[in-house]
């Protein structure tokens, strides 16, 4: 195996299963020492279990790599601090933070409770901030570091029943860009990955109709290990000039995603009134309006 990450230390949240596990094992195979963080909770964030993180550590060590397990919650700022301190105590430094941990509490919007809203925001958005903040000072002092955050097309494009998840994932995009801007002077990078992968996070999709069965069959082609190569590269010195970007990975496809920029403008020298907005501005702009797309509308072809 290549030593692309030789000598580097990575903290990877939610790495006891699925996408996170794939990243942890591939980073270790490329020479990184890894803090395998996983609270071991259910998809909804309830409960704890230390065994998933321990199993990944055992697998990495069996393959000749270095890893330690961590069971702290990303939603706890003190827990996030302990993850980074564990990297420093165990391996002497920290070079890469992969913010992958997540939960789902899907509800149609008018049924979304404050409890479900706050739980998802805490893990995804606050979790990204907590772990990134814990590492940022160390990155600044050493003059290097890479953040890899996980977003979703549920936020970038849209999806039904996921207002909490979509809002958190779009918040992560803004957080990543701000980190990239604020810390570029210290050679610290921050990028996002939007993954398409079959995991327990989407394993609850119903298969009650032939159409749903066909959709799930396609999703199952997109295994979590397909996400890891991009995360590994983003953590490497080869990505020194890559920051502030949003990528997506779908099976064997890698996408660079767009970022909001002006699409069309209208001008009225004397200013606008509500009436002229309706008579002039909107007729000029409406042909450029976006439809109420969901991810499947935009990525409408079969995974390749």
Q: Is the pLDDT of residue 199 over 60?
A: no
Strand partners, 38: none
pLDDT confidence bin for 198, thresholds 50/70/90:
low
Q: Which member of 150, 165, 196, 247 is catalytic? A: 165
pLDDT confidence bin for 104, thresholds 50/70/90:
very high
Instruction: Give the model's pLDDT for residue 278.
Output: 98
Query: Where do the structural domains in the chain lie, given as residue ranges?
Result: 9-256, 262-304
CA dihedral (235, 241, 247, 250) positive or negative: negative
Contacts of 173 (CB under 8 A, 6+ apart): 151, 155, 156, 192, 246
The span from the CA of 94 to the CA of 9, in Å, is 5
Read off the pLDDT of residues 276-301 as tens digits, 9 standing for 90 and up.
999 999 999 999 999 999 988 999 88
Backbone angles phi, psi at 239, to 5 degrees: -100, 20
Instruction: Give the model's pLDDT for residue 141.
Output: 98
Please say if 186 is a catalytic residue.
no
Read off the pLDDT of residues 250-266 as tens digits, 9 standing for 90 and up.
999 999 999 999 999 99
Contact between 172 and 126 (Cβ < 8 Å):
no
Short-list 201, 192, 126, CA closest to 159: 201
Q: Tell me the fold of 9-256.
A: Rossmann fold (3.40.50)
Short-list 3, 14, 7, CA closest to 227: 14
**Side-chain half-sphere of 37: how many Cα atoms within 13 Å?**
27
pLDDT confidence bin for 45, thresholds 50/70/90:
confident
Instruction: Give the model's pLDDT for residue 212.
Output: 64
Instruction: Give the model's pLDDT for residue 202.
Output: 55
pLDDT confidence bin for 47, thresholds 50/70/90:
confident
């Amino acid at each position: 195996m290549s030593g692309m990450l030789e000598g580097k230390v990575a903290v990877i949240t939610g790495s006891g299963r699925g996408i996170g596990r794939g990243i942890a094992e591939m980073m270790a195979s490329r020479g990184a020492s890894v803090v395998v963080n996983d609270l071991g909770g259910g998809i909804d964030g309830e409960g704890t279990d230390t065994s998933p993180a321990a199993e990944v550590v055992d697998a990495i060590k069996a393959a000749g790599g270095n890893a330690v397990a961590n069971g702290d919650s990303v939603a706890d700022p003190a827990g996030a601090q302990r993850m980074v301190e564990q990297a420093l105590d165990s391996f002497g430094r920290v070079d890469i933070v992969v913010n992958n941990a997540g939960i789902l509490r899907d509800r149609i919007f008018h049924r979304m409770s404050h409890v479900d809203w706050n739980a998802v925001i805490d893990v995804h958005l606050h979790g990204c901030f907590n772990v990134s903040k814990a590492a940022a000072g160390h990155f600044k002092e050493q003059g290097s570091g890479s953040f890899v955050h996980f977003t979703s097309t549920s936020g970038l494009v849209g999806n039904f029943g996921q207002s909490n998840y979509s809002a958190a994932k779009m918040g992560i995009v803004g957080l990543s860009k701000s980190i990239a801007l604020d810390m570029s002077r210290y050679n610290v990078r921050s990028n996002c990955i939007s993954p398409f992968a079959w995991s327990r996070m989407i394993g609850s999709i119903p298969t009650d109709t032939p159409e749903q069965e066909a959709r799930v069959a396609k999703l199952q082609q997109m295994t979590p290990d397909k996400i890891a190569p991009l995360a590994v590269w983003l953590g490497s010195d080869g990505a020194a000039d890559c920051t502030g970007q949003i990528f997506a990975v779908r099976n064997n496809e890698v996408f660079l995603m767009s970022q909001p920029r002006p699409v069309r403008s209208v001008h009225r020298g004397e200013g606008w009134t509500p009436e002229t907005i309706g008579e002039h501005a909107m007729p000029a702009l409406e042909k450029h309006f976006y439809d109420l797309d969901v991810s499947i509308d935009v990525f409408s072809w079969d995974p390749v």
